[in-house]
A and B are shown apart, each in its own frame.
Chain A
Amino acid sequence: MENLNQSKQQALSEINNAQKPADIDRLRIKYLSRKKGQLTKILRDLANLSIEQRKKIGPQANQAKQEISQALDRKLDELKNQEHVESFDVTLPGIEPKVGHLNPITIVRREVEEIFKTMGFEVHEGNELTNLHYNFLSLNFPEDHPAMDSYDTFFIENPKDQVELKDKQVLRPHTSNMQVKIMEKKKPPLRVIVPGRCFRNEATDASHEHTFHQCEGFIVDEKISVANLIYVMKELLKAYFKKDNIKVRLRPGYFPFVEPGFELDF
């Protein structure tokens, strides 16, 4: 009886003083292990006692075992918790997933396309390789227009030796090569934009590139006017630059395929 109480008190005090989870494991073995545990031993020794004594000490011994077991669990939780909390450094940097990027040209192009889509424009990209018919002649460029010179436009070799002017292959210097093509295929009313890659035979410097991206748009409809065109351009700029007060200046500009032609400054 004394032995039991003594063991229990000692066990509880040692548990209380445990510093790390491993101490708990050690104490569990010391007191409760099936072979050598002190409590186990006491319980096993009960077999040698008289029935009455057994009845008296038995429940107490069981209860002591339970108490110790619970104390061990409690302390273990506490120590584990402590250990976790202390070693968990929330200030370490997070682990980034691999992040990809879109090319800035793609980003701008998407923004522009989105704006035009909300105004009801279809998006066509079209081909970059084109012929002089679609590229110039069908757009009111005279045959001797300077743009037709190889000084401005890249010409592509043709397997055939003799090619008619209109069939000569070029890399498009503007997206306007799609105007006639789209109008041939589709019936009005039409609202179309053509964003895409263009090429010009220009020496490259800070403000010139032989390859660049352009976006053009057109509307084919009855009762469509210059005032509508100005509206669309202003809306585009407003939406793109996210400003309501965009001051724009319209002034004449010359392009063989439009009347009137103007340029927009802002």
Chain B
Amino acid sequence: MKISVNWLKEYVDIKNPQKTAEDLTMSIAEVERIEDPSQKLKDIVVGEIKEIKEHPNADKLFVAQVDIGNKKIIQLIFGQVIELKVGDKLPIAIAPTKLPTGLDIKKIKIRNIESYAMCCLNSELGILDQKRNVHFFDKNVKNGTKISSILDLDMIFDIDNKSLTHRPDLFSHIGIAREIAAKESKKLKLPKKIKIKSVDKKIDVEIKDKKLCPRYIAVQLDNIKITNSPKWIQERLSAIGIRPINNIVDITNYVMLEIGQPLHAFDAGKIKEKIIIRAAKSGEAIKTIDQKDRKLDSDMLVIADQEKSLAVAGVMGGADSEVGEKTTSIILESANFNAYSIRQTARKLGLHSEASMRFEKNLSPTLPEDALNRAIQLFQEICQAKIASKITDIYPVKQKVIKIKFNPQKIEQFLGTKISLTKAKSILKSLDFKITGTRILSVQVPWFRMDIHAEEDLFEEIARIYGYDNIKPQALTQQSKPISLLPDLKLEKQTRDIFKGFGFSEMINYSFVSERLLRQCNLNLEEHLKVLNPQSKDLQYLRVSLFPHLINNAKFNLKRFSETNIFEVGHIYHKPNCESKSLAGLINGRKEKIFYDIKGIIEAFLNQLNIDYQIESLEDKSEYYAEKKAVQIKSNNKIIGSLGLIDQKILDKLNIRKNKIAYFDLSIEQLARNKKSEKKYQPIPKFPSVILDIAFVLDKTIPAADLEKEILRIGRPLLKEIRLFDVYTGKPLAGNERNLAYHLTYQNSEKTLEDKEVQQIQRKVIEHITKKFSAKIRKF
């Protein structure tokens, strides 16, 4: 929102606009930018033409000697755009400089005559009356005076609207001036209210929905003649970027910008009988004053007469009832509308006007009265308008006066700094709060402060005017307890560190997934929660697994690098409305043996976390794992995750060429639950172990895990460990055969093992295995 400093000066004294802007930022809302035209006019001074001669070598040019003060005469060349005579005083730009419009002024030589400066047109300066070519100064202005110091140029504060969301009263010059007066301890000067003599003629107004329109005031003004508004109003409006239109529209805009209440003027001649404030009928349409046809729906409020809608309430007027050249009589509306309804309407129509911007902040229903009074005053003064009706004011539920109990003793406790009662009271008073009582005070909230409801709000008012920067930071004195991370967060942290150590890079992907990617990953759309209002089609579904984005990351990476080891820890979401945390990752490689890499990584990971686990074949058919090339991981008989090779069809769909992908995922909650906090340590065995190697040749289809289980079962308790060291298929073995070779470690913790004992167990193992699996022993 743009605020004119000159305009503010009508209500409060401003000596140093920079300082005032800083005060606003520190106590009310951020002034994002100060527009200061004088900054760009530094090298422009008042010069007096002392002599004019025709340019000896150019027909249409003149050479002038100009007095620029301090007894300095400067030579310049000018053309025929402006007629100048000796004695004229006008803005002179002394080279080298740059005009606000961007024009560079340099010393130049035109046909052998030098020019050291330039006479400035208003259009070149970008200020002053743009309808006139040049601005002549009064004879008594001293030559050499900087024009910025005598032109009373306006400065504009550009204020961040967002920080004023809760302060509808600040969307006006008086609102801002009031804050400045409070902050800088100055007096606020408000325009005088006039007494209005109305005429005994009724305007028929009916509010159908009093919730959406708490107040409606209308008055008819006659003797209207449409012209331009006076210069001062035009200047005020232009300065803050509002285009002057005509006297009627300009006055309504002026009042809105002065006190914050949007007004609307209808051509009285175009209204049939009565004014009705009602919901739009479905299918109803209106052409708004921007000449666009708007389709309305039954959630929108309109101002209508007996026949048709005249305006979209609080948003924009209709073209049919608009004030035009032939208007002689107007109905002036000053009303209050429901903020939520206005916001919805403005959004649905994509129509954000100065009016809707204010109404949607929740204006006070008391405000329309003051605004109407001020507008009538201006219409009378400027247009000699005559009041032609009663002031019709429909205001069924009056705004409540809010009084807050206020204990000044609490200020210190709340803010952590001492502010004297006198200071606190004077701050509140400067903001128009009324205070009564002695120890526990009663504070009456001014009607325009729709944001104040509780004692804490009052503390805030005091603190912000006092200045937050004046509050000295205070260390926390209360004892605090030792902090340990929650189990799942602790586990997440460990997980990230372990995978980083394994050479994996961490991804953080979006929670949203596109339908396309889900389909590529062969995932069921039905299982995914859907965003009702996605920003785009790519952000429509919530991930049920980290898989889609990770495989997509892999695709991206493999176009650029030969290797990708990535993992992610993140939230996944399930129907109907639950959420869990997942760990997943993948590696790539040319051959399917990467399955064993990922399996080894996950086993090492689970061992580091001290989690007991079992690995088994997948129970259910999986969407994205290759058939029979994936396993599930269990802990305490619950599935905690899975790992395996990704289905070739998915890799083909994603255009991942020449690479296999091995993927895993695990539930963070399950990992945290099954992590054993105790780790058992053992002394190094006193007695030596005996390691014997053994190799079985058996049918390929027998899982190694089954064989190992049996070996251990028979060999225990002296057989402590069994470790696979070779897998072989091929000649001289038969086609269906496979060789599995193991190191078997025997040990007795009580004594040194004897050869005989070991041989005996080993024989037992061999005997059992050869029988059970029809295996042969392979000779080395």
Contacts and interface: CB of A to CB of B under 8 A. Distances in A.
Contacts of B81: none
B475 A106 contact: no
Nearest to B452: A259
Given A101-B506, A123-B486, A128-B511, A154 B459 contact: no
B743 interface: no
Interface string B165-177: 1110000000000
B565 interface: yes
B657 interface: no
Determine chain A's interface SS by DSSP, over half rule.
loop
A259 B532 contact: no
Interface in A189-205: 189, 191, 197, 199, 201-204
A85 interface: no
Given A105-B508, A129-B577, A256-B166, A151 B347 contact: yes
Interface stretch (A24-32, A68-76, A219-227): A219-227
A263 B27 CA distance: 11
Contacts of B499: 100
A176 to B, nearest CB: 16
User: Contact residue range for chain B?
Assistant: 35 or more
Nearest to B500: A100
A252 B28 contact: yes
A187 B496 CA distance: 31
Nearest to A160: B576
B114 interface: no
Given A105-B508, A146-B343, A123 B577 contact: no
B579 A127 contact: yes
Interface string B465-500: 000110111111010110101100100010010011
Contact of B413 (A97, A223, A263): A223
Nearest to B167: A254
A44 interface: no
B728 interface: no
Contacts of B730: none
Interface stretch (A7-15, A87-95, A113-121): A113-121
B184 interface: no
Contacts of B529: 129, 156-157
A207 to B, nearest CB: 14
A225 B411 CA distance: 10
Given A154-B531, A227-B416, A254-B165, A117 B28 contact: no
A188 to B, nearest CB: 10
Contacts of A150: 532-533
Contacts of A262: 464, 468
A232 interface: yes
A120 B477 CA distance: 11
A159 B571 contact: no
B454 interface: yes
Interface of B: 25-30, 162-167, 339-340, 343, 347, 360, 413-417, 454, 456-457, 459-460, 463-464, 468-469, 471-476, 478, 480-481, 483, 485-486, 489, 493, 496, 499-508, 510-512, 529-535, 539, 542, 565, 571, 573, 575-579
Question: Nearest 7 CB-CB pairs, A to B?
Answer: A227-B416, A120-B480, A98-B503, A225-B416, A144-B340, A260-B460, A231-B473
28 contacts: A103-B506, A103-B508, A105-B508, A110-B493, A123-B483, A146-B360, A154-B534, A155-B532, A156-B577, A158-B576, A171-B531, A201-B535, A202-B535, A210-B512, A210-B535, A219-B476, A226-B415, A226-B471, A227-B415, A231-B474, A234-B473, A252-B28, A256-B166, A259-B454, A259-B457, A260-B456, A260-B468, A263-B30
